[in-house]
Amino acid sequence: MTTKPTIHKYFEAVGRRKTAIARVRLFPATKTGFEINGKSLEIYFPVKEMQMNVTDPFTNGKAAEKFHVTAKLTGGGISAQSEALRHGISRALLVYDIELRGKLKKLGYLKRDPRAKERRKFGFKKARKSPQWSKR
């Protein structure tokens, strides 16, 4: 006897910020829930600001449906990871409903923040800090 595999429909997207990458999947559900690297939202992001970062696309984007979010985060620090997750959720919401684009774009959630650490140049101590110069 073979059992049919259950097919779960989900909306997938990738969000990035600095070196942090978030692979996000949104599953339609009865209530909004989060699973980030196998942990809940409150455990993975203990800071309230970062939790707000993650939930903002749902609260401000006014999505009609509720979703269970699963995400795999790699790289960066926790602050960059929360913003990468927000970017990924926003992109996945567009796959679900393109009508949300105007609201999410106005809030700035669809823009990938391109700022990153500048590389160190040779002859310098850091990216721009030069060694102390003495005349004699």
pLDDT over 80 (residue 1): no
Which amino acid is present at 86?
R
* Torsion-angle region of 18 (φ positive above 0: left; ψ -120 to 50: alpha; else: beta): left
Distance of CA 133 to CAs 40, 122, 123, 127, 130, Å? 52, 16, 12, 17, 8
Residues 6+ apart with CB under 8 A from 71: 22, 23, 24, 25, 34, 35, 36, 37, 85, 88
pLDDT of amino acid 61? 75
**Residue range 17-70, pLDDT digits in tens:** 989 999 999 888 888 888 899 998 899 989 999 889 888 888 887 776 788 889
pLDDT of amino acid 136? 82
Sorted by where each starts, the structural domains of the chain and their CATH numbers stand as 11-107 (3.30.230.10)
* Torsion-angle region of 119 (φ positive above 0: left; ψ -120 to 50: alpha; else: beta): beta
Distance, in Å, from the CA atom of 48 to the CA atom of 46, rounded to the nearest integer, reads: 6
pLDDT of amino acid 55? 87
pLDDT of amino acid 99? 84
**Residue range 67-125, pLDDT digits in tens:** 888 999 999 899 999 999 999 999 988 888 888 888 888 888 888 888 888 999 999 99
Residue 2 confidence class, pLDDT cut points 50, 70, 90: low
pLDDT of amino acid 64? 67
pLDDT over 70 (residue 8): no
